[in-house]
Structure 1
Amino acid sequence: MEAPDLTEDIVERGVILAYAWLNGDIYDSNAMRPLPTYAVDANWSFLISEYQTIEFTTDLLSVPLPDHFFRFIAIPGNIETLKSASRENIPIEELKSMPYKDVCQLFNIPE
């Protein structure tokens, strides 16, 4: 899918966080799960094969259902938001596993 925010600068020097809300997720039906994850009997992840595109992937034999929802957050590497996360002593690896709502709150992103 087209993702104009995923510029060369963001992909190479920033942080990209991806999430999925999967219909039928019996463990946490209200959550946007950080990717990669295992849920609904499949592995879910994302791929950026070229700048300004993102592909959400699964090892299901069929395509994802139309009522699955995917989101990504692109954080440039040279802006105050990453610096603010480091002031909170949140390593980038921890950012990648944080719940969607927590990341939105940390970076003042409307849900």
Structure 2
Amino acid sequence: MKSIRIATVIACLAAIAPATSMADDGESLFKKQCKKCHALEAGKHNIGPSLAGIVGKKAGQQDFKKYKALKDVDITWDEANLSAWIEDPKKFIGKATTMVVKIKDAEDRAAIIEYLKAN
């Protein structure tokens, strides 16, 4: 009976470990790729808008005065849209944007998105 409990605990920890690792990777990637332009504090904008609580929000809805490319688009930032945007912003919306970072690696994009979901 005791060995079954131990096995269950180990299985649960194994299931949690990749998510923790991905969030850690996402934080590291965010700091390297995104933080120079984006903050995670609500209402705090840098060169780009705050990304606080971005998952589930409509694009272009913040009080960020520099919005141009996303001002009139009808996009909700779900995981798929964020991934496509981070991969190639211009290709995603079909017009030029000030966002210059492109993250081609799908695992890196997924890690960043997981990190954004937690913030």
Structure 1 length-normalised TM: 0.27
The structure with the largest alpha-carbon Rg is: 2
Q: Per residue, is there more strand in 1 or in 2?
A: 1
Structure 2 length-normalised TM: 0.26
Structure possessing the higher relative contact order (Cα contacts under 8 Å, 6 or more residues apart): 1
